[in-house]
Amino acid sequence: MINSFKANKIHIGIFGKRNSGKSTLMNVMLGQDFSIVSNVSGTTTDVNQKAMELLPIGSVIFMDTAGFDDVDELGLQRVEKTFKALNRVDVGIFVCDYEPITEVEEDFLKTLSDRKIPILAIVNKEDEGTLDEKSLEVIKKYSKEVINLSLLSDKDARDKIKQGLIKILPDEVIAPNDALNWLVEENDNIILVIPIDKEAPKDRIILPQVQIIRNILDKNCTCMVCKEDKLERVLNNLKEKPKMVITDSQAFKSVSRIVPDDISLTSFSILFARLKGDFQTFLEGTDKIDKLNENDNILVCESCTHHPIGDDIGRVKIPNLVQKYTGKTLNFEFYSGYDFPDNIKNYALIIHCGACMTNRREMLTRIMKAKAANIPVTNYGMVISKCLGILDRAVKMF
């Protein structure tokens, strides 16, 4: 579980009004006092996250959120964070008690349902009272599974909740496709080209590269890793040609000149466009590059927060590459981490990173927002290959 990447874990959001038992549920599932439990309203002020191995489901992250009925000025800020957490949630646990369901609770259930987030409803404090039939009908309208229990006294609460999660989790969430699904077969040879430049972290390689290496090994294939200046030598020394070459997008130009046309070529970022986002939407988004106008605004999004270096790929290399390709002066704005602008209508194009540091749910949420605003969206690898004139080759295998 420790070695399972945060972005690949199933994100389980715990939602409900204040004092419904959300933090108690979090502690029950973790088997420890992680979240503060109190009768004082508004104890949970931020989204508390904790990773664990929840067998047989696998690696998960529980997200304990503030009550969405907090109405004072500070409370509204807490509620805003609760709603932002929905962008990262794969499944929601809705916690209520025996009191009648309020309009705020029903509205939140509808919000989860509208976002197609599977809902497990926990009716807590059954030892103190019984939920009325009308409220139960409301909960069943939106929830896939409803469990009645008392989190403080039910010794089997953890197992009941775990079984409820297993029932509602979509198959693709429990067993997601890996980045190389159906692209390679057992015993294939794959070469990874990994430049070691100013952006390479000291003494290690970046997350997408690590994940692809693991995917290759899991498929019983052979993985060869080299820098771009050693690629030609590696190819010449092989007795049989590799099934494919996967390169860092920044080395696309030099690598494409070396790799023969009969060997498949793509990039880590393009593989992640398929794993984390909507491949076809990203591909269609590259068409907008040919239609950009002078001084158009372009939004560049990074899913991680890092200190940008002087030659940063998202903030320097891609803007320079796009402006050189189009021959136009363009305005670039940058957002990183969980931040994503509420108003995107003034952007002509959104260019997103590979999203290795976030989960697919959040990436799809951003894509949905872009589509709703009729803004084309694409990703780093596709933009780079488009501007270098090798996009067709880079996506041919898909």
Highest-pLDDT range among 30-34, 325-329, 360-364: 325-329
Q: Tell me what pLDDT residue 5 has.
A: 60
**Lowest mean per-residue pLDDT among 72-76, 209-213, 323-327:** 72-76
What gap in Å lies between CA 249 and CA 194, rounded to an integer?
Answer: 9
8 A C-beta contact, residue 11 and residue 90: yes
The CATH T-level fold of domain 6-174 is: Rossmann fold (3.40.50)
At the top level of CATH, which class does the domain 189-271 belong to? alpha beta
The answer on pLDDT for 36 being more than 60 is: no
**Lowest mean per-residue pLDDT among 77-86, 155-164, 169-178, 193-202:** 169-178
Please tell me if the domain spanning 6-174 has the same topology as the one spanning 279-393. yes
Chain centroid, CA 340 distance in Å: 13
CATH architecture of 279-393: 3-Layer(aba) Sandwich (3.40)
Q: How many CB atoms lie within 10 A of CB 210?
A: 14
Chain centroid, CA 40 distance in Å: 34
What gap in Å lies between CA 104 and CA 110, rounded to an integer?
Answer: 10
What gap in Å lies between CA 322 and CA 124, rounded to an integer?
Answer: 55
Is the backbone peptide bond immediately before 319 cis, with ω within 30 degrees of 0?
no
Q: Tell me what pLDDT residue 2 has.
A: 41
Whole-structure pTM value: 0.72
Q: Tell me what pLDDT residue 132 has.
A: 93
**Lowest mean per-residue pLDDT among 196-205, 217-226, 326-335:** 196-205
Q: How many CB atoms lie within 10 A of CB 346?
A: 13
Is the model more confident about 256 or about 3? 256
Alpha-carbon distances, residue 171 vs 101, 111, 268 (angstroms): 30, 22, 25
Residue type, 288: K
Domain ranges in the chain are 6-174, 189-271, 279-393
Instruction: Summarize pLDDT for 105-160 with one digit per residue, the tens.
Output: 999 999 999 988 999 999 999 888 889 999 999 999 999 999 999 999 999 999 89
What gap in Å lies between CA 336 and CA 307, rounded to an integer?
Answer: 11
